[in-house]
Amino acid sequence: MNRNFEQEYREMMNKQTPDLWDRIEAGVKASDRSNSVITGIDDLRKETEIKKEKKRFPNYYQVMAVAGVAACFAVLAVGAPAVKQSMHMEKEAEQGLTEAGLELPEDSSSAAVTSFAKSSSEKESSSAAEAQNDESSSVQAEASSSQVRTANEESSSKMSKKPEKEAAKDDSSATASQLNHDDEASSQPVQKTADSTSVEASSEETASTSAAESTTKKKKKKTSSSDGHDVAVTSDADAQSGKPESDLETVAAKDDAASIAQADAKAQAEAEVKAQAEAEAKAQAEAETDAQKAEEEKKEPVTYTGIVAKVSSMKESDGAIIYTFKVISDENGNFSKNKKIKVMSSESLEKGSSYVIAFLDDGTKKGSSTLYKLIAVSDFETE
């Protein structure tokens, strides 16, 4: 007995298969509810995660603080080069002052200003002393003629015996007295040195005035420092007379401005000299190159021979004749037929005659065309 296993198996399984749809539907609903709960939990988790992420980011005030700090750094970064540049300029100004033999007054202390004024007055006094010596010698010469020689000799000997510093002080005070007529104290040493003779006094006065003039002349030579020196002398006098320090500060400021202007003028002059030197060197180099080019052109002349040409025209120029040839034939093929060439020669050739010529091209030009120089010529017909 043969049985169909497949058929019997399918029938058996179909009979055994229960109806599970209600259970499945209930399970699906339950899973949906649990999913919704899970979804709710997931939403809560997401919300908390979002809150955490928000907490990770800084709030508005923190951001603004950080931005402010960053802006400060940016300003410093931008402003630092400018500050450096200004410092560099100050250093250069100081350097210029030291080169000019001047000192920059530190802060606004009156001591520095007075020392500066003293140093300037010392310089002036030394120059004044020198000028006075010269003037005194001249005065001595005048005095010999006016019989006041002995008195001047005494005064000059006294002057020479005096220490240089004292003389300088006296002269500076004398200069100050010349510039500031109210200063009476400065006239006393002059009277002392002049003893009691009027001639001596007059000679001393002339000496002092001449010294003052010489100092003023020297000051004028020093373009920008003249004002400063004047003021410095005045300040010395002011210091002696006990004026307030504010005036000294203004004096120092003026000195600074003058010294800076002097340094600038010096730098400008140096720059001009450099520029002139460079321009000269450049022009010289160009001239040299031009000369070299001309020499090279002259060094390589080209000779053309065996050209049969006919004189079409001639023109005298500077003792020589410039012939215009019309080329008939060129055995070398350098010139085409009927080409017109200008050849300079001292020989006399007939217009309309044909010649066999040889000429040189040394680079000379006549207008736009080349001017050749005739080397040899022979009559074409005779050959």
Partner 1 sequence: MTDSEFDEGMYRMRSGDREPLKTIYQDYIGFIYSTVFSVVGNKENAEDITADFFIKIWEQADKYKPGTGHKAWMSRIAHNMAVDFLRKRKRETLTDEMESASDEDNTKGGKSIYDTQVVNPVEDEVVSDMTLQQALQSLSEDERVVINMKIMGDMTFKSIAQAMGLSMGTVTWRYQSALRKLRKYGYE
Minimal CA–CA distance to 371: which of 335, 339, 348, 345?
345
**103 touches 97 (CB < 8 A):** yes
Site membership for partner 1, residue 28 (CB under 8 A) = yes
The 8-class DSSP code of residue 102 comes to -
Q: Contacting partner 1 (CB under 8 A), which of 33, 35, 191, 297? A: 35
CB of 37 to partner 1, least distance (A): 14
Q: Which stretch binds partner 1 (CB under 8 A): 14-22, 42-50, 128-136, 252-260?
A: 14-22
Site membership for partner 1, residue 39 (CB under 8 A) = no
Q: Do β-strands 340-345 and 369-379 pair in parallel, antiparallel, or remain unpaired? A: parallel
Query: Which of 13, 82 has the CB closer to partner 1?
Result: 13
Site membership for partner 1, residue 23 (CB under 8 A) = yes
Residue 186 burial (CB < 10 Å; 0-12/13-18/19+)? buried
**172 touches 117 (CB < 8 A):** no
Q: Which stretch binds partner 1 (CB under 8 A): 15-23, 48-56, 100-108, 132-140?
A: 15-23
The rounded Cα 98 to chain-centroid distance in angstroms is: 20
Query: Which of 4, 196 has the CB closer to partner 1?
Result: 4
CB of 5 to partner 1, least distance (A): 4
CB of 30 to partner 1, least distance (A): 8
CB of 17 to partner 1, least distance (A): 5
Name residue 193's amino acid.
T
Q: Contacting partner 1 (CB under 8 A), which of 18, 242, 244, 319? A: 18
Dihedral sign computed on CA atoms, order 159, 143, 184, 249 = negative
Nearest-angstrom CA–CA distance, 134 and 128? 10
Query: Which of 29, 274 has the CB closer to partner 1?
Result: 29
CB of 27 to partner 1, least distance (A): 4
Q: Contacting partner 1 (CB under 8 A), which of 12, 37, 70, 71? A: 12
Q: Which stretch binds partner 1 (CB under 8 A): 23-31, 57-65, 72-80, 316-324?
A: 23-31
Q: Which stretch binds partner 1 (CB under 8 A): 3-11, 177-185, 275-283, 339-347?
A: 3-11
- Mark 112-151 with x for binding to partner 1 (rule: CB under 8 A) and - for no binding: ----------------------------------------
Nearest-angstrom CA–CA distance, 101 and 103? 7
Nearest-angstrom CA–CA distance, 130 and 123? 11
Query: Phi-psi bin for 101: left (phi > 0), alpha (psi -120 to 50), beta?
Result: left
Site membership for partner 1, residue 333 (CB under 8 A) = no
Nearest-angstrom CA–CA distance, 58 and 63? 6
Site membership for partner 1, residue 25 (CB under 8 A) = yes
Count of chain residues binding partner 1 (CB under 8 A):
25
Site membership for partner 1, residue 277 (CB under 8 A) = no
CB of 19 to partner 1, least distance (A): 8
Nearest-angstrom CA–CA distance, 372 and 298? 13
Beta bridge partners of 335: none
Nearest-angstrom CA–CA distance, 139 and 202? 10
CB of 41 to partner 1, least distance (A): 16
Nearest-angstrom CA–CA distance, 167 and 207? 12
Site membership for partner 1, residue 2 (CB under 8 A) = yes
DSSP-based three-state secondary structure for 350 = coil
Minimal CA–CA distance to 359: which of 370, 345, 369, 374?
374
Q: Quickly list DSSP for 286-331.
A: HHHHHHHHHHHHHH--EEEEEEEEEEEEEEEETTEEEEEEEEEEET
CB of 34 to partner 1, least distance (A): 9
Residues that bind partner 1 (CB under 8 A): 1-6, 8-10, 12-14, 16-18, 20-21, 23-25, 27-28, 31-32, 35
